[in-house]
Structure 1
Amino acid sequence: MIVKPKIRGFICTTAHLTGCEKNVLNQINYVKQQPKIEGPKKVLVIGSSQGFGLSSRIVSTFGAGADTIGVYFEKPASENKTASAGWYNNIAFEHEASQAGYYAKSFNGDAFSDEIKKETIDLIKKDFGKVDLVIYSLAAPRRVDPKTGEVYSSVIKPTKDAYTNKTVNTQKGVVSEITVNPATEEEIEQTIKVMGGEDWQLWIEALDIAGVLAEGFKTVAFNYIGPEVTHAIYKKGTIGKAKEHLDQTAHHLNEQLKSINGRAFVSVNKALVTQSSSAIPVVPLYISLLYKVMKEKGLHEGCIEQMYRLYNENLYTSSPKPLDENGRIRIDDWEMKEEVQQEVAVLWKDIDTENLEQLSDIEGYRKEFLQIFGFAFDGVDYDAEVDPIPQNITQSK
């Protein structure tokens, strides 16, 4: 079939096999060109098929020479329908890793479930013995409680007053005002259940009880803080409440892991175009302005550059950069430079529909959005027929 992007709101319902392979290969090639990292050797990545999770798995293997197990939840391909992009990404990664002589196996299932935790631990015991790094990079809109069966759903809302600010329809190029009403207490609590640290803690506790955490073990979960213009909807919103819980979880895990000299970190990362960020009001417009400024200053990074810096400058170096006042790693440091934020703030005041193309990098935003799904890559013939099911590649469990 010939596969073209079909966009509905902030999601694309198709994915391009060749483009997703190109995405993975581009990231692998970037890492291969960087200095080797004296890092982890047995790694578990929870949420391994896209974004920071996929990039951290690539850095683990092709930057540090690690064997990896991935956990993700993606839609497989059929004869007349494409898989989700993350499914293609994972297939491509496993193929490249095995071709290079590395162990790479994955579970496609609900990472919140006890069943997937048990199957993952059994595989670690069988093939690894212990893991020395766990990356926790889940981004899900809902979660089923493994004990009670209750379904929790997250919302993206302010927590106090209604919030009004500029936003952009990235496909139509229209800048408008949006008002988001505040969340209820129940919505806040449910968002914390989905996006907070509870499941991260359940994973680490299960691994610890099973005796599969190595001496000096590390685990990392991800956060975003951003500038004042996004705070009402993010840092001070329902997501921010969940991330506060994530910080608390890291402190708790650090106490729990002392017996094996283990560490739990929250890494605060740069704003990037992801499926998750595309769904947050105000944020796509901010990212479009941020990209313009950071690219002009030679400071722009994608997921793979961010994850390489995380490993090379923070997790696996004899002189890691200082943690912030809350004990977090900050690889959003280039984004939050004063001169960057000052220029973004000036542009924010002036941006409207008429000058959107001139004052922002909306085209860069659109391109990166399409690339999440395997489209808009140079060197890929998007008019060629492709088989949606990869040939001669073993599918993940």
Structure 2
Amino acid sequence: MSSFETLIKKIENREAVIGVVGLGYVGLPLAVEKAKAGYKVIGFDVQQSRVEQVNQGINYIGDVVDQDLVDMIKSGQLIATTDYARIQDVDAVAICVPTPLDIYQQPDTSYVESSANEIAKNSHEGMLVVLESTTYPGTTEEIVRPALEAKGLVTGETVFIAYSPERVDPGNKQFKTKNTPKVVGGITANCTKVAASLYRNVLEGDVFEVSSPAIAEMEKIFENTFRHINIALANEMAILCEKMGIDVWEVIDAAKTKPYGYMAFYPGPGLGGHCIPIDPFYLTWKAREYNYHTRLIELAGEINNTMPEYVITRAMQVLNEEGKALRGAKVTVLGVAYKKDIDDVRESPVLKIIEFLEQHGADYQVVDPYVASFKCCGKRMETVQLTKEMLQQSDLVLVATDHSDFDYQMIANESKLVFDTRNALKGITKPNKYVKL
């Protein structure tokens, strides 16, 4: 029996041992779902503290159900380790490590390279290796494949390599890892079949097969670039509408009544998270190899990146109208997470807003029911609990993240001046002085 047939049989019979490299926002939910599907799963991470938390059943990812993790650990279906030699024990492994940008806005693939090398070092015949980290088209072929073939493995015959982009949307109540459709592209047809077979046995969402890893890699960047550009359009419209005295939020509500040809995107204080602010720049970087300048993507990035500064400029204006300067003003910032109802502050535009408040000498405090502390301005900052007294004493209440836990009617009742960057007070009786983005 060939390596391909043996691996397919193991996957179908749930005899395959599955590895997941990187136990963060993507890796841990995937590891738990694979364990729940009946596979023995080994999670790998370089952080000893994270490994210990997993092995103790302590959940640190919002999209994972606490009891699911506890049950999988207690049953022995899921274990975590820092020992990459255990790769020798797995039949299939997913790489779910970060792919940040460096200081020059160029892709930092060091985590992918390190993971691929560790897997290759401990590889064996009959393995499936799937890269899930968001990256530029060509990464699977340029980084993962050479590492494994250097060990004498033959792609499509003794090792099966594919790319399947993660589609995690933190805080999404409807779509989780389990039911989100999956895209899979293998280097060969057999690579695609093996990877698709595993995902179909684990997930409820459809598995869509494409002809190559590059197609799947580009598909993921296209998804996020689409959102990146359309959010930039919404932000630009917000700036223009404010100058014209038009409510952009009402404009969007009216536009989305059209049942075709329009999809609603909303303005805000800027982009956050690990995907939308970063992924499009993987494409702009790769495009330079082909002597092509991605003008629209870069312009969208310019618009989105200036939104925190625009928010501060508007804050200054509304305070000036009340005869106050930003310097010395008491400002309450509501929310520091990059989106509502999550604890994730990665690339949050609110961090930039806080930096501006610090630079301009504002007397600010940050409230976030999901985030106890965060790093900003070179130091660790603590959030505080929202009170009526705090609102009453504030010169400006800035709604930066529209968490559902906030009592917006109380905020409206007790605040002297509210600047709402998220239209969070929609449908709420407004305070005397209320300004929207």
With the shorter chain as reference, the TM-score category is: 0.3 to 0.5
Using the size of structure 2 for normalisation, the TM-score is: 0.40
Whose relative contact order is higher, 1 or 2, with alpha carbons under 8 Å and at least 6 apart? 1
Highest Rg: 1 or 2?
A: 2
Using the size of structure 1 for normalisation, the TM-score is: 0.43
